[in-house]
A and B are shown apart, each in its own frame.
Chain A
């Protein structure tokens, strides 16, 4: 039930911010500080999420096959590989390392 609550809250929140952008008068969101903050917020969140989902096991920090997978994704990104190939590289390398190390 709590999962459905989280889903409902996220769905409402996601829709409200999307609609807000289309409806609010120009100028409200145009202040430079607000714009800079809005651009930097996803950077902080995505960086933290990437790190946590790679190195966290519950509340402990671990170094496992996911780190190798993410490194592969990073290499794919540097080589300007398409989106899906980046994801595939991470998945394949993680599975490979896991299979080799048991």
Chain B
């Protein structure tokens, strides 16, 4: 989501001027940090609308849709869960797919715990906001103070907006009825593609993605709903293993 941060940092000119004015001697002014953070929080927060619509269109109730945004609060996992449930996946398989997508947040937390140096009592509360966007904004800041401010403002604005737009999206979907007629069933895969695109930096990522597509589609007719996605996840260790073997066979041949 680094690209989202980069793109949206300038999206909301002027919104950050309200809060902070104090400039730090050694770094970025607080107002600039708040502006960056709000840019990301607002732009991505608005896409909760797409989630609300997709979730309601997938047959989840208003309460179920809102609880997902309130308590799961990590977009890709939420989209994956409602998509799997709509496809008739069993609940545990659906939850497993969503869980594996959320595992990356643990690695964000690792980076953030060093960067933010949060007191132990604060961590259980801060944890809920450890996601792509808050990490991207925090890591982009020059000092600990700026990182903490960026994390808090991004987390708060994104959490409030994401939940608000989820509610509006779900209500809207219920009002318009057939969401497919409006093309809203394409929102889910488009979100996944937008999250995926900036990750495809090297050949390794592209090979993993290609193999996962083949496994995900190829196994769809033969395995129970939800399982093909989990099987496709095996593309990651498989490619790493093959890469390791190639490297062992040709010493000094490959990078990393």
Q: Chain A: residues with CB nearer than 8 A to chain B?
A: 2-7, 9-11, 13-15, 17-24, 26, 29-30, 33, 35-56, 58-61, 65-66, 69-70, 73-74, 77, 80, 82-84, 86-87, 89-96, 98
Q: How far is the CA of A89 from the CA of B189 in the complex (A)?
A: 12
Provided the pairs A17-B106, A21-B106 are in contact, do residues A90 and B126 lie with their beta carbons within 8 angstroms?
A: no
Interface residue? B60 (CB, 8 A): yes
B126 lies within 8 A of A43 (CB): no
Q: How far is the CA of A34 from the CA of B188 in the complex (A)?
A: 29
Q: Which of B16-24, B136-144, B156-164, B198-206 contacts A (4 or more CB under 8 A)?
A: B198-206
* Partner among A3, A4, A83 whose Cβ is within 8 Å of the Cβ of B44: A83
Provided the pairs A4-B64, A84-B43 are in contact, do residues A46 and B112 lie with their beta carbons within 8 angstroms?
A: no
Provided the pairs A10-B98, A21-B112 are in contact, do residues A49 and B83 lie with their beta carbons within 8 angstroms?
A: yes
Interface residue? B95 (CB, 8 A): yes
Q: How far is the CA of A3 from the CA of B195 in the complex (A)?
A: 25
B183 lies within 8 A of A50 (CB): no
A95 lies within 8 A of B98 (CB): no
Subset of 16 A-B contacts with CB under 8 Å: A7-B71, A9-B99, A13-B95, A13-B99, A21-B109, A21-B130, A22-B123, A38-B106, A41-B103, A45-B101, A48-B215, A48-B232, A48-B235, A52-B228, A83-B47, A83-B194
Q: How far is the CA of A74 from the CA of B192 in the complex (A)?
A: 11
Q: Is the interface of A mostly helix, strand, loop or mixed?
A: helix
Q: How far is the CA of A26 from the CA of B170 in the complex (A)?
A: 41
A95 lies within 8 A of B208 (CB): no
Inside 8 A of A83's CB, which chain B residues have their CB?
4, 7-8, 43-44, 47, 194
Q: How far is the CA of A19 from the CA of B228 in the complex (A)?
A: 28
Residue of A nearest to B59 (CB): A3
Inside 8 A of A95's CB, which chain B residues have their CB?
181-184
Interface residue? B150 (CB, 8 A): no
Provided the pairs A21-B106, A43-B209, A47-B209 are in contact, do residues A56 and B220 lie with their beta carbons within 8 angstroms?
A: yes
A51 lies within 8 A of B217 (CB): yes
Q: Is the interface of B mostly helix, strand, loop or mixed?
A: helix
A40 lies within 8 A of B205 (CB): yes
B88 lies within 8 A of A58 (CB): yes
A2 lies within 8 A of B232 (CB): no
A59 lies within 8 A of B130 (CB): no
B216 lies within 8 A of A49 (CB): yes
B104 lies within 8 A of A38 (CB): yes
Provided the pairs A18-B127, A40-B205, A87-B191 are in contact, do residues A46 and B76 lie with their beta carbons within 8 angstroms?
A: yes
Provided the pairs A44-B233, A47-B208, A48-B216 are in contact, do residues A92 and B183 lie with their beta carbons within 8 angstroms?
A: yes
Inside 8 A of A87's CB, which chain B residues have their CB?
47, 50, 187, 190-191, 194
B104 lies within 8 A of A41 (CB): yes
Q: How far is the CA of A57 from the CA of B220 in the complex (A)?
A: 10
Inside 8 A of B91's CB, which chain A residues have their CB?
2-3, 5-6, 9
Interface residue? B153 (CB, 8 A): no
Inside 8 A of B199's CB, which chain A residues have their CB?
39, 42-43, 46
Interface residue? B210 (CB, 8 A): yes
Inside 8 A of A40's CB, which chain B residues have their CB?
204-205, 208, 236, 239-240
* Central interface residue in A17, A29, A91, by most chain B CB within 10 Å: A17
Inside 8 A of B103's CB, which chain A residues have their CB?
17, 38, 41-42
